[in-house]
Structure 1
């Protein structure tokens, strides 16, 4: 393990303290609001869309950041928006660029993500989160709105999409996709965190029940169509995938979301393998980073830093039935 990926009980306590202001009096986790939410576009007050102007900062552990990276890959924006990668284990000083030479981001020259937040807004007291988009011409954080970021890549950056890129956010489905994504966020994407970060039995069980009730519904939905919106991959599939791919390796044990594994849902499991084997999904998925980030990092009480040997990750490359079932 890289020395900077080591963590301590103190790191975990500090990380837990960081979310203290996101816990309600009932012990439920209530995620902080995003601070930098200016939209991308061509209208006054919007962030201008230009090649090479923005740098996307992410950690491979993080589902919110991972979905932005998947969309960047699917749409061919790799040469339009540069990418900076932190260690998967968040330190007591925040996300760290320890994977880069010299331990600093090669473009921004920062060691820890909170440094660029402090440059942008010295009064900001929230967590410095990934994904973060930095305007490299001004060295300012301009957007950390993980909920809408993929939609900006899909719409405002459309002039720079590669030839033949998927239409992940088709105009005729946007209202339905937005409605679906909101439900998916509350019950599933953030639902695992609401279970994992709960500080009361009642709050944990409420999140747990809502999560699995929704997964049961999605299992049925995926028995009737290859993807969430028929025979085409959309933004919603990206959002569902990033939770699914972390579920059995992390959420099931670390967040105690243990009624079922994803592999136990026949339709969801084959759907997840289908996406994993699609370029842009599996090739941006780093299971080692996911396991280290959740099991050795700030999400788990693991004082002896023991990394679970399983689950068997080779199953993600096994055949799925989706193309045959919905041909």
Structure 2
């Protein structure tokens, strides 16, 4: 049997007569491989080392069953520990979303010109809940009133500020990761801890911050979009737009109760389920609701009729991510959204409303899920974007204007 180094099954035996001093130079940490297709003396990295050892031990066959079962058992235990922290569940394995810690009852609150610079919005582009706030801000024309800082997912699952400083730019024409533009913090957790009394809970987006008081005003997305819709008066460039008119409030609340449980949170219940029974219940509830919505939108341009409302905004931010992320990563595989003619047309209709497309960053969204939700995608490989999810596909004619009075929406949303 020839002499073979454990570091490389193809590493040649050193037969040339050399001095002992030269031979001592070859240690496991300094051995280099030679191969015609490689640059001279490439350093053997840990992956190569592991590959060579497994080839030597088992050749082309799989590792022994005991090793496979041990690794599988260990990974399952670690996965359950990580999921328990990232996505807490009830005893049945059903995902239970933590409640927002900072709620706000704005009521008749109106931001005056004197205190217009006191609020700052923190968002993350992958997050559908934060996306709601960006859309309502854009439709109402509040970009110059409430500055925005855009966080990115960090490798440990936290929100970090690793973007580029765009100076005083607060418009929504370039939605991309930024620095913390008001507090100069490196992470969102640091911002939360600036509040009086500190904070050790979940640092979530969206979050509305009071600059002068250094306090978290609210981190519940629906509270924030209600404020953006009605709390800024004439400061909003499009103050005439009301996404929650009194005549439709009851219908909006009814739709929201359906959408939140079965769709907005439903996709997460599918992706974060920790038992087969919990997944089956969640996925059936999700697609039953999508079927119902597709039927409803056959004869109604928007959920509440001819006018876009907050309920449509809340549904849109899940739909725009469906084929991009949830269908694959969250195991919502029964149907793609593109297979729902009315729902897909409805999504394109909203996407084509002026300034909505600018709030969508598909690359950042895919990265935020595929590269940072480690328990769901350990390899961190981001799949290619589906053909029907890009800007060109979403800009195709939807022909849904035929379901509502002519030119009604074009006048309302034009700024």
Query: What TM-score do the two structures reach when normalised by structure 2?
Result: 0.70
In the alignment, what sits opposite 2:229? Answer: 154
Q: Which has the larger Rg?
A: 2
Out of 119, 134, 138, the residue aligned to residue 54 of structure 1 is: 119
Residues 144-166 of structure 1, C-alpha deviations (whole Å, 9 max, x = no match): 01132211211222342224642
Displacement of 1:218 after TM fit?
Answer: 0.5
In the alignment, what sits opposite 1:73? Answer: 138
In the alignment, what sits opposite 1:38? Answer: 104
Displacement of 1:125 after TM fit?
Answer: 3.6
Query: What TM-score do the two structures reach when normalised by structure 1?
Result: 0.88
Q: 2: distance between equivalents of 1:109 and 1:118?
A: 13
2:111/2:233 contact within 8 Å kept? no
Mapping of residues 170-249 of structure 1, within 5 Å: 170-249=245-324
Q: 2: distance between equivalents of 1:292 and 1:14?
A: 23
In the alignment, what sits opposite 1:26? Answer: 92
Displacement of 1:300 after TM fit?
Answer: 5.4
Displacement of 1:126 after TM fit?
Answer: 2.7
Mapping of residues 251-270 of structure 1, within 5 Å: 251-270=326-345
1:38/1:47 contact within 8 Å kept? no
Displacement of 1:122 after TM fit?
Answer: 5.0
Equivalenced residue count is: 314
Q: Does 1:113 align with 2:188?
A: yes
User: CA 1:13 to 1:315, structure 2 compared with 1: closer, same or farther past 3 Å?
Assistant: farther
User: CA 1:315 to 1:104, structure 2 compared with 1: closer, same or farther past 3 Å?
Assistant: closer
Displacement of 1:52 after TM fit?
Answer: 1.4
2:93/2:274 contact within 8 Å kept? yes
Task: Name which of structure 1's ranges 154-163 and 133-142 shifts more when overlaid on structure 2.
Answer: 154-163
Name the structure, 1 or 2, with higher relative contact order (CA <8 Å, separation 6+): 1
Q: Does 1:99 align with 2:163?
A: yes
Q: Which runs of 5+ in 2 are unaligned?
A: 1-74, 167-177, 406-415
User: CA 1:15 to 1:284, structure 2 compared with 1: closer, same or farther past 3 Å?
Assistant: farther
RMSD of the TM alignment (CA)? Answer: 2.5
Out of 380, 385, 391, the residue aligned to residue 305 of structure 1 is: 380
Q: 1: distance between equivalents of 2:207 and 2:329?
A: 25
2:252/2:311 contact within 8 Å kept? yes
Displacement of 1:13 after TM fit?
Answer: 8.7
Q: Does 1:295 align with 2:385?
A: no
Q: 1: distance between equivalents of 2:111 and 2:254?
A: 25
Displacement of 1:321 after TM fit?
Answer: 1.8
Q: Which runs of 5+ in 1 are unaligned?
A: 1-8
Displacement of 1:180 after TM fit?
Answer: 1.4
2:83/2:375 contact within 8 Å kept? no
Q: 2: distance between equivalents of 1:192 and 1:122?
A: 35
Q: 2: distance between equivalents of 1:121 and 1:298?
A: 31
Residues 22-58 of structure 1, C-alpha deviations (whole Å, 9 max, x = no match): 2111111111111111223567xx9989311111100
Displacement of 1:257 after TM fit?
Answer: 0.5
Q: 1: distance between equivalents of 2:258 and 2:202?
A: 24
Q: 2: distance between equivalents of 1:251 and 1:94?
A: 21
User: CA 1:114 to 1:122, structure 2 compared with 1: closer, same or farther past 3 Å?
Assistant: farther
1:73/1:280 contact within 8 Å kept? yes
